[in-house]
Amino acid sequence: MVFDRHFQTSAYEPYHWITASEERCKNYEYASLTHVNGSHAVGFEFRRPFRSDSDNGYAPSPKEERCAGLADVRTARTMEYTIDIFFAQTWYDSRLKFNSTMKLLMLNSNMVGKIWIPDTFFRNSRKSDAHWITTPNRLLRLWSNGRVMYTLRLTINAECYLKLHNFPMDEHSCPLEFSSYGYPKNEIQYRWQRRAVEVADQRYWRLYQFAFVGLRNTSDVAHTQSGEYVIMTIFFDLSRRMGYFTIQTYIPCSMIVVLSWVSFWINKDAVPARTSLGITTVLTMTTLSTISRKSLPKVSYVTAMDLFVSVCFIFTFAALMEYGTLHYFTSNRQSKKTKSSSAPDCKLLAVEYISYKGKIFTFVKSKM
């Protein structure tokens, strides 16, 4: 099914803590980051992941993650939707703190490979693409307090399984799930903040086949063989608009039913006229039923539109059968009258007696 046009998702901001064993940290390489301090270039190197100053091990460090962007959502008969978003991740890294008159550094996207970034991925995506024209659509910013923001533009084809029993009066909640790919719950945790997701002004966007109802965000834990993972989910609540289906299906079907009733006002002896009208309406309803199904996935259950079209088909077929029944009984009555009128009808008009030479002759005059 395809969602039309676009809408704005402002920000969903979970907090993110990371811990790692010292054995894992031995496998991490050193990386260097260069930033501008006044008119000088200052370089420093750091280790991934975070190192705590309080002990010799590695302790949790707070991290924030945010998603914001303009999304273009379309539905399809394949039960998936396409969304174009700007996905921004924000976290704090104490190793990246610096003292400078500059509070914000706007770094080149090539610096993304120099620092630690979360391994967030979209769990229910079937296909995801990053945009690289004309340059990689990525943004990296660093604040003096160690805050890092990494933004990129993504186009995601995500699954959205629809329940079409009430089609086209149906409502759906299409999810977009994301989580860490490699860090389990004891290493990374996501938590929603207040006003986690906001919607842009709906005067500037519109879904043509659906009405955008709202957004909901939830968090859950998935239990797998490799560990427990925190899953963050955004639900896009949608309600289907009936305008298209009213014009294309409901109004034509209703008019065909009314047209089939016109045969009741045609003379019952006009067999060709009434028969052709009934057959035409039945065939038209069959065509409309086939067309209405083309906009749906091939589901095995009956939808609300199927029920409506079936009732309309029954009405048109019943109108044709009504005339067939009427013609059958009226034809039988006329045939019986014809048979009874074909028998001779003798009527005695007069009887005359004539005597001739002592004999009497009788003459009967009758008229058929």
Closest CA to 242 of 264, 210, 288: 210
Buried/exposed code over 312-333 (b: 16+ C-beta within 10 A; e: otherwise)? bbebbbebbebbeeeeeeeeee
SS3 72: strand
When the pLDDT of each residue in the chain is averaged and rounded to a whole number, the result is 75
- In this structure, of 7-21, 78-92, 135-149, 349-363, the range with the lowest mean pLDDT score is 7-21
- pLDDT tens per residue across span 193-221: 676 666 667 777 777 888 888 888 899 99
Give the single-character DSSP code of 168: T
d(CA 272, CA 323): 11
Asked if pLDDT for residue 346 goes beyond 90, the answer is no
pLDDT at position 38 over 60: no
The CA distance from 58 to 178, in Å, is 25
Mean pLDDT check: name the lowest of 73-82, 120-129, 301-310.
73-82
pLDDT tens, 179-197? 999 989 888 877 776 766 6
| Positions of E strands within 93-146 | 104-107, 120-122, 125-130, 138-143
> What are 39-77's pLDDT values in tens digits?
333 333 333 445 444 333 333 344 445 554 445 556 657
d(CA 216, CA 205): 19
With pLDDT > 70 as the criterion, what percentage of the chain qualifies?
68
**Domains observed in the chain:** 6-241 (2.70.170.10), 244-333 (1.20.58.390)
